[in-house]
Amino acid sequence: MDILSILGLLIAFGAILGGQVLEGGHIGSILLPVAFLIVMGGTLGAVMVQFPLPVFMKAMACTKMVFINPKVDVKTLITQIVELSNLSRKQGLLALEGKLKTISDPLLAKGVQLVVDGTEPPKIREILEVEVEMFEESHNLAAKVWESFGGYSPTIGILGAVLGLIHVMENLADPSKLGSGIAVAFVATVYGVGFANMVFLPFGGKIKMKTKEVVLARLMVIEGLVALAGGENPRMIEDKLSAYLPESERGAQPPHSKS
């Protein structure tokens, strides 16, 4: 669970609503369904026009990345690769086939199968890097969907404000109806700017950041597999892959496995 995302949203909305109360206003005065409908409906429609259905659905599915950290245990992957390297040095590359069922990471399993099949290291890198590139591209497109929400939302908010002012102009002869029109005008702007900068753009940024974390881990796996296929010393492989760990964790690596 990404506590920082949840805490950030609570602080952002809490600060806005709390400030409204401290100013002497009422929370109900900024909770207008009409303004919300105009801004959210208009923004959603614009984004749906811009992106094809698969990309839009992928963006919705990637929303969980904002609140749930991807399950990538880099230290465990390094340990697995080093163990596989030790096994291959002792029993040969074909011995790795018996370990395939114990590997849970799909990319590592696919790479080990390529190694067992006798694929040359440059070809292994080429095949696996294409897969990683496709993963990164699909998730970056998902992030762009949320960024587009953030781009359209303020503009639709202004459109809602204009509609509210039109309503005001139509009812100048009836002062009792002026207040609701003015309220919709201002609140629509608040919704457009607020959701863009507190929800949509941060969501896109968080998805991009976590995608980079996953891509980095997968590139580490590729480096390890290429080194494994090339017959490098397990100690050297461990040292090389440890560079992918955060500095705070590098010293916590287990002792080098004996080669």
Please indicate, yes or no, whether residues 71 and 104 belong to a single structural domain of this protein.
yes
Please indicate, yes or no, whether residues 97 and 58 belong to a single structural domain of this protein.
yes
Range(s) of the domain holding residue 236: 33-259
Please indicate, yes or no, whether residues 26 and 109 belong to a single structural domain of this protein.
no
pLDDT digits (tens, 9 = 90+) for 174-217: 666 666 667 777 888 999 999 999 999 999 999 999 999 999 99
Most confident range (mean pLDDT) of 49-63, 79-93, 97-111, 222-236 is 49-63
Tokens of 72: 């990538």
Please indicate, yes or no, whether residues 113 and 18 belong to a single structural domain of this protein.
no
Please indicate, yes or no, whether residues 126 and 1 belong to a single structural domain of this protein.
no
Please indicate, yes or no, whether residues 174 and 78 belong to a single structural domain of this protein.
yes
**Cα 76 from Cα 163, distance rounded (Å):** 57
Please indicate, yes or no, whether residues 213 and 85 belong to a single structural domain of this protein.
yes
pLDDT digits (tens, 9 = 90+) for 13-40: 898 888 888 887 778 777 888 889 999 9
Please indicate, yes or no, whether residues 174 and 201 belong to a single structural domain of this protein.
yes
